[in-house]
Structure 1
């Protein structure tokens, strides 16, 4: 055994190696009590319970979907919420004390993830979010922050520009309707600006197939000219 260990040490290229007999089965049985220094040697069973989940990431029976919960939060709180959810699940997979122990921008590989744990994390996040996530999720988004931003984009896709414009117009309508009788100067200023906006929406080119008034007159027959005069001034 000594010679075999010596040969192994020479092939590693590391500066300091310590040969130590370890009972891996006994270490695995210690579960979460296993010291952090030894956790990389064995796979410990992951047990997720309600008491082991951060309050910000906890889901309750009958609660609205995660997307609905995010919509109910101020915009600045949505990303931290999803980051907390991801950190909680990373901590559960790796056996950390809690999500607070998981840095936002440290790669999952450096945290100790392997092939099995990446699938565990993907499955756990799929359950939390209700999304069907790709098998390469952890490789495509290799730290908490980028992964949380990706999930947030799936849960709350950016609104279409057209929808945003219509929502803003609806809000503007409500504001105008709320103007009081003493707001005449404000009404005049608002009307002027609205007329300017309407002018920008007016077509600036002649539609295909349409002719200007001058072109219609130049090419009109006598009967068409009389019809134009009647339409403009009434029947003479």
Structure 2
């Protein structure tokens, strides 16, 4: 009711605000003091696992599910495990898992069940023996279908939301009358940070976070663990090669892993991940982020304003001030400098900058790995890394390049020439009365830009990648870019 809240909200630098009991709150993560949470002493305490009950794990024969199953049997003495998955006991590695669990003294039941099918799940739960009733649920199932927002299809959204959201809903509703000690949802930090190319995955995990809080508000057990990146969770053979299921992180390429590293999120080893699981469950807190932060890496991008707002407590200087300082530094270095450089020398400077930033985006050790005349796509760029390169070049040079600049200037040398023209004021965009033949954007100052939002692609193209291929082919059949007709 206080009219002063609106002006304060409009002038706040936080991207999100919540008004509770007359006070404005901003989101942030803080380090959890585990010394306040002692190990469990008896059944029913947070983190305790009853040995006479059944623990249900969705995705139980998958990478994380099997890892958790082995841990519960070997470390916590759980004796009855119900592992649910689409392929049940036919999942590769299931028999090896059964054998390993048996050696730890646990009995395992594999159930072939699509957890998005409520009736099928209800049948599986009805078959749990009365002498070892259901006492805990661990929902570890999940699917990835990464794509930029403009490339997301309804099918890609459903494929990711169904095994997370629908399955959790069914588990919640069907176990309300069960005497559960734990209801654990494997969420992801993607729901908090909004990782590039994972709009569907971020939404699904944010919903899991909300479900855990809702259950706790109802007096029911519920925890959502918003995991950071896991290292490869699969087994290895004698040569060190993967010999078993790998987690979702196992599907990441070098550029994807490098992108995660720049956010300050380091991979969790299986041992550290399982220790984090135990620690999180002992707290009983409904929403926890078990993630390994690389603080030097997290603080490194502070100059370009790339640190997520929610992690601001882990850096030493305000993001916006650092971003402004970096932009000013870039302008003074590269726009005040051309007076002392001829165009070839300036081009060489800028080409070095572009190659260096391209190497960082792709995770290379040096700019020497970047061929100045090779197509960006051949170098390993996709639509996500292209936008990241544009953002980094903008921050380093104090420039205002359009989000489609890597599509329109598809080699490092071409991008450097365009950047030179922008800084010297000789590009079409810098000359009054002219307009560039490139896709328009409403605000090129945003640090994160969705490429092609509300654009109609030419030549039957349906995605940014398809547009890239069309541009590389010479744009045959394109008379103009349709950005202004959106």
Greater strand share, 1 or 2?
Answer: 2
| Range of TM-score over shorter length | 0.3 to 0.5
Q: Report which structure shows greater RCO (CA 8 Å, sep ≥6).
A: 1
Q: In terms of Rg, which structure is larger? A: 1
TM-score, normalising length: structure 2: 0.23
